[in-house]
Structure 1
């Protein structure tokens, strides 16, 4: 039986515990801090930006190699993640498919990408079916098709942009939009985040962060479109707003997959960022969106 002196202490402890439990998730996240190794994230991000600029502007012949390396790393991470969910996706046909799709896109353009994608899917099916048949084989093939469609197929649109007039600037347009989306969302979310956007998928994403993404992402794309490409301002604003929405959907889609698989990051290759796929998930959707939007806005 508690003494009178112990009862106030117990009540205080109980009220403190209730206060902690009742704190909304965005406020708890803010008190915990940004949740990542910020110095490492900045350093790695700087290195990635340098590699991108050199491969796009200085040595454009190296850009397909850089893109292929990134896509190979992302596919390997995805196959390992899917294996944690019980899918045994064979990595060899996927990696061969990535290289074949990159080479075909560089040499033959959009037609080469379509044909090589169909060939990669066919090889994947034959490879997996020769190992075993049944429902598990069907699930593994579906996971492999997801990997091919998500990473190399969408990623090769960067190569298609590179082949157009002022291709290097178009690639930067497709990449800097998601970068502005991530940076603006991170800063605004840490400083002002109060209202969760999709708490069941990504608890740290807030509507305030999305507003920051919309401002910085749209401003970045508009600046590149008007200053480097000479496009009308409304084109930059329209493209920037669409890219921010698409990039956010890409982030949420990967977060949903990771939550379903029970993992935090796709990999650990990039300190402060996670894996390669964690870094390029929004770019993979932004690349074909940029390609199609430019065809629609500027036929």
Structure 2
């Protein structure tokens, strides 16, 4: 005989169940409560996504972005033409923040960089270049790596190799490369050379973006940076060559064709720099390296192409000097 509660019983109660009292509906479906593990529910740690989601710059605050740009340009001009030490301090500040952003981002891939020695070393390397030149900068890099290794030796053994490698990577990328701008500053007509490199890097980004938005149809590397197109790259080359020739004729004393060669080289390495950071951010799972600069993202999002441009410009200017 079927029971009164069985599905086939004509005497089965077909009335819908009474709703749970307010405040208990959520608890009725909480697996931790229904299993009786109230203590586990109360002590359960907050869960945080392992993917760092930086704010998108698509809807960035334009007034804030302009204000930040004006402040940075003012500091750069002051350092180049009025108070040289400001240039080294600006580079050191950017390098220190950049290393901190890289270290913070790498934690989402399980790589723990010793931030204290790495950031201190990153700040001091441009100052070493300012006061002691290339030899002091090279020695500063060696001492920085040594400091990181010694510091990390007193930490946990697990992940030590990745930690040291990540530290060296961050120091070279954010600080050592940027410090070459300080070295270039101390060369003949150095302030104008540094300004030329920055103008070329900025013009590459600006013309590439403008042409890419209007005519861009063929992506250069869709899996890395889908918005960068070959048309935009052509715009970068064309715009930067014009700027390079003008800088050669009116800003730096060198033949016009050297300005064109320098411009093409800067565009290539600036594009490589953009792609490099895009690959790193895509691998980590973030959009921006930071949010420190309103409307711009992080410091590394602003100098990713410049750090490659300054080392390239330094080498090319030295070659032009040697070749006469």
TM-score with structure 2 setting the length: 0.78
Unaligned runs of 5+ in 2: 1-56
1:283 is matched with 306
Shift of 1:218: 2.1
SS in 1 for 2:154: helix
- Establish whether residue 78 from structure 1 lines up as the match of residue 78 from structure 2: no
Structure with the higher fraction of residues in helix conformation: 1
How many residues of Structure 1 are paired with residues of Structure 2 in the alignment? 265
Match of residue 262, structure 1, among 275, 285, 290: 285
- Establish whether residue 191 from structure 1 lines up as the match of residue 210 from structure 2: no
Q: CA, structure 1 residues 179+55, in 2 after alignment: closer, same or farther (shift >3 Å)?
A: same
8 A Cα contact 2:118 2:167, kept in partner: yes
Distance across 1 between alignment mates of 2:197 and 2:95: 16
Match of residue 180, structure 2, among 154, 157, 161: 157
Distance across 1 between alignment mates of 2:276 and 2:184: 24
Distance across 1 between alignment mates of 2:239 and 2:59: 21
8 A Cα contact 1:64 1:102, kept in partner: yes
CA radius of gyration, larger in: 2
TM-score with structure 1 setting the length: 0.85
8 A Cα contact 1:176 1:220, kept in partner: yes
- Establish whether residue 62 from structure 1 lines up as the match of residue 86 from structure 2: yes
Distance across 2 between alignment mates of 1:261 and 1:113: 30
- Establish whether residue 122 from structure 1 lines up as the match of residue 142 from structure 2: no
Distance across 2 between alignment mates of 1:143 and 1:80: 11
SS in 2 for 1:295: helix
- Establish whether residue 205 from structure 1 lines up as the match of residue 228 from structure 2: yes
Shift of 1:42: 4.1
1:100 is matched with 124
Shift of 1:76: 1.0
Shift of 1:170: 1.1
Distance across 1 between alignment mates of 2:132 and 2:68: 34
Distance across 1 between alignment mates of 2:295 and 2:233: 21
SS in 2 for 1:37: coil
Distance across 2 between alignment mates of 1:167 and 1:140: 36
Unaligned runs of 5+ in 1: 1-33
Match of residue 218, structure 1, among 241, 256, 271: 241
8 A Cα contact 1:180 1:213, kept in partner: yes
Distance across 2 between alignment mates of 1:200 and 1:38: 28
Shift of 1:35: 3.2
8 A Cα contact 2:224 2:279, kept in partner: yes
2:295 is matched with 272
2:111 is matched with 87
Distance across 2 between alignment mates of 1:117 and 1:50: 29
1:133 is matched with 157
Match of residue 174, structure 1, among 197, 202, 207: 197
- Cα RMSD of the aligned pairs, angstroms, is 1.5
Shift of 1:230: 2.2
8 A Cα contact 1:218 1:244, kept in partner: no
